[in-house]
Structure 1
C-alpha cells in the first residue's frame, strides 16, 4: 500500500511538471502580448502562494496599483486575469458576453456540493439558460413591483424590533432578508429568524460561501485529483454528504408548496394561498423545461442570493452612518422635508429621497474562446476576475476614492453624477451586481429593499457611536469584515434610539397594522418545520 501511494504521488508531481512546462510553452499570436504579471511566480504553482486565502481582492488591488487595470497571473498552470476598471469590465463581460459568460469549474463546489445543479456555478450551457429563464420570470421589474407589499410588511417588523433591541441588529437584518425571500419563494413566514427551516437554509448559504471561496479545496486548482480513490480524497465524502443534505432541503421546501397546491385543487379553495416562486413554477412547469431538482436549486439559489446580500449591505450602511455622521444629518433633513414625522417612508417617496439610498468581489467569469483586447491575448479558459474593490476605487470615476462621499452621486461636479435625481442614484446595472449575462437576477428586488430600508431606519432612528467608560465615543474599525465572497462587517457596537416619541409611536402603530393584515399571520408553518425535522442530519 505504501508503494502504491508513493507511485500515485510521484505520478501527480510528474503530471504537474508536464502541465507547467506545456503552459509556459504557449506563446501569444503575432502582434499580441500577454498581460503584465506579478513577479516571483513559482514553478508549477505559479502565483498561488501569493494570493491570501481570504479577502484576495486586497492583493489584487496591490497588483493593480503596480501593474495597471489588467493583470495576469497563473495558478497551477491555469490562466487568470484581474480587471480593475469598470470600462474594461463592461467591454469584456457585457459587450462580449457571449464568450465571457461561463464559469471556472470548481470541482468541489459544482460537482460534489451542488451535483452540477446550482445556477451560480454552472457553465454557460442549456441547463443554466433554462434556469435563468425561470429566474427572469420571477424577478423581472414588473414582478419585483408586486413584491413591494411584502417588503413594506417585513421592513416594518424589522424596524419595530430594531428600536426595541438594537443590539440584535444582525438578526433583524437577516430576518428581514430571509423572511422576505421565504415569503416570495415559498409563501411561508419566518417569525423569529431562529426557526428550524430558516437556520437550515442559512447553513446552506454559509456552506456555499465557504466551499466556493478561492483556494478552499486543492481539487479546484488540480481537477484531476477527483480521480483519486475515495480513501485518498475525503473531500468526496464531505461533498456528497452536504449535497444530499441541501438537496433534501430544497426538495422538501418545493414539495410542501406542491402539496398545498394539490390540496387546494381537491378542496376547490376559493381563496388560494399567496403566490410564490415555487407556485409559479409548479403551475407553469412545461414553459421552463426544468426537472424538479433543477427547479428546486433555482429557487434555493434565489434564496441564497437574497438572504445574505441585503443584510450585509444594511450592516455596511449602519457602519457608514456611525463613522460618518454628517451624512445621517443630511438624511434627517431630506426625510423630514419629504415624509414628515407622523408616517414612515413608502415606495412612492423614494424618487424624492436621493440622499437616502445605499449601493451594494464578485464571482469570476470564464472565457470560452481565445480573445484579444487592447493588444492583450487571453487564451480560451482564462478566468476573469472583475475586482469590485479596485473598480470602486478607480480615481477617474471616484476622485479621492478612500473618502466616504455620497456627494459623488448628488453633485454634478463628479463623474458618477446622473440626472434626473428622481431616478438616480439607482442600482440598475451597478457593477456590484455583476456584469452581462451573469448579472444578479434579483437586482430589482434588492434595489427596492436597499432604497426602502435605509430610508425607514434613518427616518425613525438616530445612530451614533457607543460611549466608552470615559464618555468618549468608540470608533469601530473601518474595515473589519468577515471572510467568504459575501462579506459583512464583523459585529460592532453603536447606539440607536428613536428620533422622537412620535416616530416610535408611528412605528408601533404600523407594526400592529402589519401584524393584523399579514396574509400569513395565521400560519405557523408547523407542517414545514416537521417535514424539515424529518430530514435529520
Structure 2
C-alpha cells in the first residue's frame, strides 16, 4: 500500500508539472513594463529548491541585496514577488489595498484545516470584511484603552512569576499573553496557565503557526495533490483532525458565553459583544467563533515572542537596559510601579519596545498578500494571482531608513539625526501602523492591545528586575525557532530584583490583588 501511494502521488505530481509547464497560460506583459528581476531557478520547478525550509527571510534578504528591493520568484509556476522596502510595501499594500488585500488559498492551512473560516487566511471579500468589522469594533484605540486594567493586573502576576521562577520565563510570558486575551475574548480567568482550555488554545496557535509555515506541506506547492482521495492523502486526514479539534474548542468557548448570558452572568468580553450584535455583524456562530478565536491566536504567541526578544536584547545590549532603568528611576522612583499614565514621560521605554520589534520581528517573513488584478508598479508588471511578500526582516534592515541596521539601537527613534525620528517625544515613538504589524487592510487587528502590553511590560520589567548574561555562557545572536511566528530558542540568563524594596512591592502587590483561592 505505501508503494501505491508513492507511485500515485508521483504520477499526479509529474502530470501537474507537465500540464502547467506546457499548457499554462503566459501573462501578457504590457509593452512599457517587464517582470521584476530575480534568481533564475530551474526549468519548471523554478526556485523551489533554492528556498530554505526554515528562516526563508534570511535568503530573501540576500536576494534583495543582489536583485534590489523588488524581485520575483517562480516556484513551480506560482508567481511570488518579494518586497524589501517599507515605501514600496506601503505603496502597494496600503495605497492600492483594493488590489493587494487578498490571500492565496493554500490548500493545507486555508482550505483543509481552517475550512475557509479563519480570517487570517480568508480571501478579500464580503466574509472577510464582516469579520474585520467585528475585530475593529473590539480592538480600536478607544476600546483598547478600556482593557488596560486587565493588562495591569496580569503584569503584576508576570513580575511575581519571573522573580519566583526566572528559568520558566517562557511559560510566564505565554501565561501573561494568554491570560490577557482569554479575559478579553471570553471573560475567563487564567489561574495557572495549565487549565485545559488554555492548553487547547495554545495547541491551536502552535498548529496554525506550524501548518502555515512556508514549505511545511507538499500540497501547498503542488495543489494538484488535492485531487488525491483521502485514503491516499495523509495530509487530508491530519487537516481533518486539526479542524475538528479547533472547531470544537471555538464552539465550546462561544456556547459557554451564550449560556452565561442566558442567566445574566456573562462578563463584558469580545464574545459577548459579538453575540449581542450578531445580527448586525451578519456572521454565523462558527464564523464568529473563528473571528474571536483569531484574536486569541494573534495576541498570544506574538506578545510572548516579542518579550522573549526583549530579554535577549537586554542581555546583549546592557547599556540600553541601564538607560531605560535610569529613565524609570527618574520618572517613577521606588515607591510604585510604572503605569500607563507614565508612558508620555517614558520615550526611551517606548523606543526600546519598538526597536525590539524592528531588530527581531516576530513575523519575520511577513504574511503574503495576493494580487487580484494585473498591475504595474514603477515599470514592473505583476500578473493577477501574484503573491507579494513584504519581507519584514529585510524591510527592517533597509540601511537608508535604519542606518547600521544590525545594531540594536533605540536611539534611532529618539534622536533627530536618524531618519526614523519623530517629535514630540511625549507621543513618539509609538507602534501605530508600524511595519512589524503588517500593511494596509491586513494590518494586525490587535495592534493597539499589543502596543499597550509591550509598553507596560518593558517598563515594569526594567523597573522591577535586572537581566544579564550568565558569566561563561554565550548567547547566540540569532538562534530562533522555525515557523510562521518566531521567538528565541530557550537561552540561559540571570534575573534578579533590582533592589529589596521593589521586590517587596512586587510581592505585596500581587498578594493583595490576586484572585481569591478556591
1:6: Cα distance to partner? Answer: 5.7
**C-alpha displacement at 1:5, in angstroms?**
8.4
Aligned-partner Cα distance in 2 for 1:507–1:287 = 44
Q: Within 5 Å, which residues of 2 pair with 1:81-160?
A: 81-160=81-160
Task: Give the structure 2 partner of residue 339 of structure 1.
Answer: 332
**What is aligned with 1:306?**
299
Residue matched to 2:39: 38
Aligned to 1:457: 461
CA contact (8 A) 2:250 2:293 kept: yes
* Alpha carbons of structure 1 residues 259 and 504: separation in structure 2 relative to 1, 3 Å: same
Counterpart residue number, 1:28: 29
Shifted more, 376-385 versus 281-290: the winner is 281-290
| 8 Å contact from structure 1 (residues 105, 220) kept in 2 | no
> Is structure 2 residue 431 aligned with structure 1 residue 432?
no
* Equivalent residue runs for 1:23-422 within 5 Å: 25-39=26-40, 41-264=41-264, 272-357=265-350, 358-359=353-354, 360=357, 361-422=365-426
Residue number in structure 2 paired with 1:485: 484
Q: Once the 2 structures are TM-superposed, how far is the Cα of residue 3 of structure 1 from its aligned partner?
A: 9.3
Conservation of the 8 A alpha-carbon contact between 1:70 and 1:84: yes
Alpha-carbon distance, 1:15 to partner = 3.4
Indicate the residue corresponding to 1:17 in structure 2: 18
Residue of structure 2 in register with 1:269 after alignment: none
Quickly say closer, same or farther: Cα 1:461–1:10, change in 2 above 3 A.
Answer: closer
Unmatched segments (≥5 aa) in structure 2: 358-364
Query: RMSD of the alignment, in Å?
Result: 1.6
Quote how far apart the aligned CAs of 1:19 are: 1.0
For 1:159 and 1:331, locate their aligned partners in 2 and report how far apart those are by CA, in whole Å.
Answer: 17
- Secondary structure at the aligned position of 1:71 is classed as strand
Separation (CA, whole Å) in 1 of partners of 2:500 and 2:13 = 70
CA distance in 2, matches of 1:391, 1:494: 30
Q: Is the 8 A contact 2:5 2:232 kept in 1?
A: no
State how many pairs are aligned. 506
Higher mean C-alpha displacement, 182-191 vs 354-363: 354-363
Distance 1:397 1:421 in 2: 19
TM-score normalised to the size of structure 2? 0.95
TM-score when scaled to structure 1? 0.92
In 1, Cα distance between the equivalents of 2:4 and 2:394? 49
Distance 1:319 1:190 in 2: 27
- For the 8 Å contact 2:12–2:225, the answer to whether it is kept is no
- Name 1:499's counterpart in structure 2: 498
Q: Tell me, in whole angstroms, the C-alpha distance in 1 between the residues paired with 2:484 and 2:490.
A: 18
CA distance in 1, matches of 2:478, 2:93: 29
Gaps of 5+ in 1: 265-271, 469-473, 525-537
Distance in 2, Cα, partners of 1:376 & 1:53: 28
State the Cα distance separating 1:506 from its structure 2 match.
Answer: 1.3
Deviation at 1:513, TM superposition (A): 2.9
Cα separation, 1, equivalents of 2:340 and 2:194: 29
Which has the higher mean CA deviation after the structures are superposed, 149-158 or 164-173? 164-173
